């Protein structure tokens, strides 16, 4: 019956490769805070513990941070789609802590979701091992009392949130300037870390009592 029924080997190969990739990843839906978009975390098998830490950061830690720290991001949330896919990987080849994926460059997962939902779906990626090792300010300077062993966990929470918000800001404002976005997310990290350390040590420490000026 002519070329119409010719076996189409390549598309099938592509599809199978894609299904195989999907099977290697797991998904988790996370409701961060009332204002923030719904997050669909997509992570490699074995990344469940990290996905749980990110869920804790976005759904538990973020909402209880001082409102003054969260206010600058209200305008960001307002401009985002109701659903944002967060692709989690240990590291990026380019060494970046994360990226936003401008419209049209999203993964197949996100594009299919958007098509099925009939509404835009945003996408960012976060490189969780790189974020864990990121040191925007020396942790040693914050070590108080016997907090030492808890410090890396607090840092990871604050750092995940800072990079998450940084990429969401880029996603919301296509022309956001890197310098301003970074100044804001570093400020967020400093304030969040000060609050978490203060709560954990049961004492006001560093800049928890008075926030550094908002950029
Ligand atoms: Zn990069
Ligand atoms: Zn950036």
Identify which ligand lies nearest to the alpha carbon of 168: 2
Burial of 94 (0-12, 13-18, 19+ CB in 10 A): exposed
Find the 96 Cα to ligand 2 centroid distance in Å.
Answer: 9
Find the 98 Cα to ligand 1 centroid distance in Å.
Answer: 7
- Beta-bridge mates of residue 30: 39
How large is the angle between the packed helices 178-201 and 151-172, nearest 10 degrees? 150
- Per-residue pLDDT of the chain (215 residues), as tens digits, is 444 555 555 666 666 666 666 668 899 999 988 889 999 999 988 889 999 999 999 999 999 999 999 999 999 999 999 999 999 999 999 999 999 999 999 999 999 999 999 999 999 999 999 999 998 877 766 656 567 678 899 999 999 999 999 999 999 998 999 999 999 999 999 999 999 988 888 765 554 446 677 77
Q: Which of 13-26 are b and which e, b meaning 16 or more Cβ less than 10 Å from the residue's Cβ? A: eeeeeeeeeeeeeb
Rounded to whole angstroms, how far apart are CA atoms 56 and 213? 27
Find the 16 Cα to ligand 1 centroid distance in Å.
Answer: 28
Helices (H), 36-137: 48-56, 67-70, 74-78, 108-117, 128-133
Identify which ligand lies nearest to the alpha carbon of 96: 1
pLDDT (0 to 100) of residue 208: 44
Find the 182 Cα to ligand 2 centroid distance in Å.
Answer: 6
Find the 18 Cα to ligand 1 centroid distance in Å.
Answer: 23
Total residue length of the chain: 215
CB 171 within 8 A of CB 124: yes
Find the 125 Cα to ligand 1 centroid distance in Å.
Answer: 10
pLDDT (0 to 100) of residue 118: 93
Rounded to whole angstroms, how far apart are CA atoms 168 and 173? 9
Find the 176 Cα to ligand 2 centroid distance in Å.
Answer: 8
Identify which ligand lies nearest to the alpha carbon of 91: 1
HSE-up (13 A, CA, CB side) for residue 10: 0
Rounded to whole angstroms, how far apart are CA atoms 82 and 121? 7
Find the 29 Cα to ligand 2 centroid distance in Å.
Answer: 25
Find the 93 Cα to ligand 1 centroid distance in Å.
Answer: 7
pLDDT (0 to 100) of residue 1: 47
pLDDT (0 to 100) of residue 42: 95
Query: Tokens for 56?
Result: 């804790």
Ion ligand 1: residues, CB within 5 A, are 94, 96
Residue 178 CB neighbour total at 10 angstroms = 9
HSE-up (13 A, CA, CB side) for residue 74: 6
């Amino acid at each position: 019956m002519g070329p119409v029924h010719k076996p189409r080997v390549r598309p099938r190969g592509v599809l199978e490769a894609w299904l195989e990739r999907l099977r290697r990843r797991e998904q988790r839906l996370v409701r961060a805070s009332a204002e923030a978009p719904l997050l669909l975390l997509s992570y490699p098998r074995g990344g469940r513990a990290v996905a749980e830490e990110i869920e804790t950061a976005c759904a538990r830690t973020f909402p209880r941070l001082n409102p003054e720290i969260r206010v600058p991001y209200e305008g960001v949330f307002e401009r985002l789609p109701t659903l944002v896919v967060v692709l989690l990987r240990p590291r990026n080849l380019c060494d970046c802590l994360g990226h936003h994926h401008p419209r049209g460059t999203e993964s197949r997962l996100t594009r299919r979701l958007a098509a099925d939902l009939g509404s835009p779906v945003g996408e960012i990626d976060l490189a969780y091992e790189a974020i864990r090792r990121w040191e925007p300010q020396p942790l040693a300077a914050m070590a108080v009392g016997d907090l030492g062993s808890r410090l890396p966990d607090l840092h990871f929470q604050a750092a995940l949130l800072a990079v998450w918000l940084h990429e969401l800001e880029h996603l919301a404002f296509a022309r956001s300037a890197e310098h301003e976005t970074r100044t804001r997310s570093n400020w967020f990290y400093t304030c969040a870390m000060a609050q978490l350390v203060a709560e954990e040590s049961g004492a006001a420490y560093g800049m928890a009592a008075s926030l550094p000026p908002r950029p």
